[in-house]
């Protein structure tokens, strides 16, 4: 396997029409993406997304904390540091790995080596975590697991750009979005039955991910890309420039990145302190509010599953993306407005349903829009999709730092201004939807 740098490609506007900008067929070897991906291949793609998400998210939400508590009881701060390091590593390596994927020349094609490599690294890392003798080794294992399974998930997203016809993008975005939300719930239930076995709590979700990736690779074979054009040599400077692009060249893509950043910033403000918010509004302790947060989480999963599937399929049928982004923002802002004034459980649960429905609809429509307007699809899909991921992950890193400033604004000592926090959250969500609706002209 070799990697090669990008060559010169025609500049575009970032405004794609149906049937244009298709990628070479990675699997059939026809030289052009088919107009429609078969149902069987879509099922394998969705299953691989489900398995990889389970392998990544179950350790993040359950197994890691369980192992850390056995190695260093009561040291919750260590878990936070470990998760933070893994998130940063996954964040900064995304664009370079996407760029390398675009330029890879191998018998298996451009994407399959990264699916296989991500799965192998991820499995090895999970075993390392299971047998970690101390917190340091556990943290190293998690960093490698986040890198491996994150690479697999990112590559699966790139396959959507490579293979899906415009009429399938919303549906598959909805399906993969729903499975990503369901995967950790199913995974935690799966490993909960074997929580006393330090190996199985890591190995079971990893095996689901590895088997699903193996089935995708076995039955949806990659095309030999060694005969593809080899542009000029890759340098460290070109690899570093994978994080950057000229917004003037791709205005629709740039505006949509901004819309995503603003919307997900609003969402992250909402999620950062939801447990403390429930406790403050209901006059309960954090321990007492845990069950209510779980109930709210269950309602949210139902709302988000319905929102991703419904909006994904409907946006494909109608051939429209922008109205869904605006409608999602209105739903989200309505939910935050209810939260800002709610002091009883019915209002809090209603607001959670509205907000998460809006998040789900925005997520599915945004992913489909990204696939519609993706710049230089033939040669740089991996790189640009990794940049898209940054626009969603950066708000999650920044919001916990800024939310406390809003909570402390205009109140006396010992009080929290959650009303302001949720109003700002809703305003940002609405602004993100308006940017997507008004400025992204490459989709209807």
pLDDT digits (tens, 9 = 90+) for 380-408: 899 999 999 889 888 887 887 888 889 88
d(CA 140, CA 314): 43
444: burial class by Cβ within 10 Å (0-12, 13-18, 19+)? exposed
pLDDT in tens, 89-145: 888 899 999 989 998 888 888 899 999 999 999 999 999 999 999 999 999 999 999
Task: Please give the Cα distance from 132 to 155 (Å, whole number).
Answer: 28
Which residue, 211, 172, 214, 216, is CA-closest to 364? 172
Instruction: Give the confidence band of 307 by pLDDT, cuts at 50, 70, 90.
Output: very high
Which tokens hold the place of 68? 């850390």
Neighbours of 248 (CB within 10 A): 9
pLDDT digits (tens, 9 = 90+) for 139-168: 999 999 999 999 999 999 999 998 898 889
Distance CA 110, CA 411 (A): 55
* 2 strand-pairing partners: 105
Would you say 147 and 367 are in contact if contact means Cβ atoms under 8 Å apart? no
**Residue 244 pLDDT exceeds 60:** yes
CA distances (Å), origin 3, targets 120, 148, 153, 162: 20, 19, 20, 18
Taking a C-beta distance cutoff of 8 angstroms, is the pair 181, 308 a contact? yes
Q: State the pTM of this model.
A: 0.79
Whether the predicted pLDDT of 1 surpasses 90: no
Predicted confidence band at 278 (pLDDT cuts at 50, 70, 90)?
confident
Query: What pLDDT shows up at residue 414?
Result: 60
Beta bridge partners of 107: none
Q: Give me the pLDDT at residue 222, please.
A: 65
Q: Is pLDDT of 11 > 50?
A: no
* Contacts for 331 with CB less than 8 Å, ≥ 6 apart: 354, 355, 357, 358, 361
pLDDT at residue 29, as a whole number? 34
**Dihedral through CA 51, CA 54, CA 55, CA 57, nearest 10?**
150
> Are the C-beta atoms of residues 154 and 385 closer than 8 Å to each other?
yes
- Asked whether the beta carbons of 361 and 307 are under 8 A apart, the reply is yes
| Number of CB atoms found within 10 A of residue 5's CB | 16
Q: How far apart are the first and last CA of the chain?
A: 40
Confidence at 25, pLDDT banded by 50, 70, 90: very low
Cα(196)–Cα(15) distance, rounded to whole angstroms?
53
pLDDT-derived band at 17, boundaries 50, 70, 90: very low
% the chain with pLDDT above 70: 88
Q: What pLDDT digit, counting tens, does each position of 250-259 carry?
A: 999 999 999 9
Listed range (24-38, 75-89, 173-187, 243-257) with the worst mean pLDDT: 24-38
Which two three-digit tokens encode residue 204?
Answer: 């079971």
């Amino acid at each position: 396997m070799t990697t090669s740098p990008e060559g010169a490609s025609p500049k575009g506007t970032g405004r794609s029409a149906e049937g244009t900008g298709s990628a070479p067929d990675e699997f059939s070897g026809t030289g052009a993406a088919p107009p429609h991906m078969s149902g069987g291949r879509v099922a394998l793609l969705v299953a691989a997304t489900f398995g990889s998400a389970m392998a990544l998210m179950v350790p993040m939400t359950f197994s890691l904390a369980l192992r850390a508590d056995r190695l260093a009881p009561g040291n919750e701060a260590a878990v936070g540091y470990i998760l933070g390091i893994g998130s940063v590593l996954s964040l900064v390596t995304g664009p370079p790995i996407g760029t390398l994927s675009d330029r890879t020349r191998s018998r298996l094609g451009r994407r399959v080596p990264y699916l296989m490599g991500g799965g192998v690294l991820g499995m090895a890392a999970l075993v390392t975590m299971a047998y970690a003798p101390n917190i340091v080794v556990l943290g190293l294992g998690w960093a490698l697991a986040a890198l491996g399974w994150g690479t697999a998930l990112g590559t699966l997203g790139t396959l959507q750009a490579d293979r899906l016809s415009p009429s399938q993008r919303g549906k598959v975005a909805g399906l993969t979005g729903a499975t990503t939300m369901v995967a950790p719930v199913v995974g935690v239930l799966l490993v909960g039955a074997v929580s006393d076995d330090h190996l199985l709590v890591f190995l079971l979700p990893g095996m689901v991910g590895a088997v699903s990736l193996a089935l995708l690779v076995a039955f949806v074979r990659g095309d030999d890309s060694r005969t593809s054009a080899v542009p000029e040599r890759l340098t460290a400077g070109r690899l570093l420039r994978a994080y950057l692009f000229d917004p003037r060249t791709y205005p629709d893509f740039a505006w949509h990145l901004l819309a995503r950043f603003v919307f997900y910033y609003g969402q992250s403000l909402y999620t950062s302190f939801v447990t403390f918010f429930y406790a403050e509004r209901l006059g309960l302790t954090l321990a007492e509010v845990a069950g209510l947060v779980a109930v709210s989480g269950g309602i949210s999963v139902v709302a988000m599953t319905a929102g991703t599937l419904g909006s994904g399929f409907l946006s494909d049928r109608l051939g429209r993306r922008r109205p869904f982004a605006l409608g999602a923002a209105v739903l989200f802002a309505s939910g935050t407005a209810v939260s800002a004034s709610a002091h009883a459980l019915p209002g809090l649960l209603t607001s959670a349903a509205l907000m998460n429905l809006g998040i789900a609809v925005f997520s599915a429509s945004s992913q489909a829009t990204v696939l519609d307007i993706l710049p230089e699809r033939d040669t740089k899909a991996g790189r640009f999709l990794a940049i898209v991921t940054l626009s969603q992950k950066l708000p999650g890193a920044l919001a916990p730092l800024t939310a406390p400033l809003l909570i402390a604004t205009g109140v006396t000592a010992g009080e929290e201004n959650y009303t302001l926090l949720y109003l700002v959250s809703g305003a940002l969500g609405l602004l993100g939807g308006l940017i997507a609706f008004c400025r992204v002209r490459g989709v209807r």
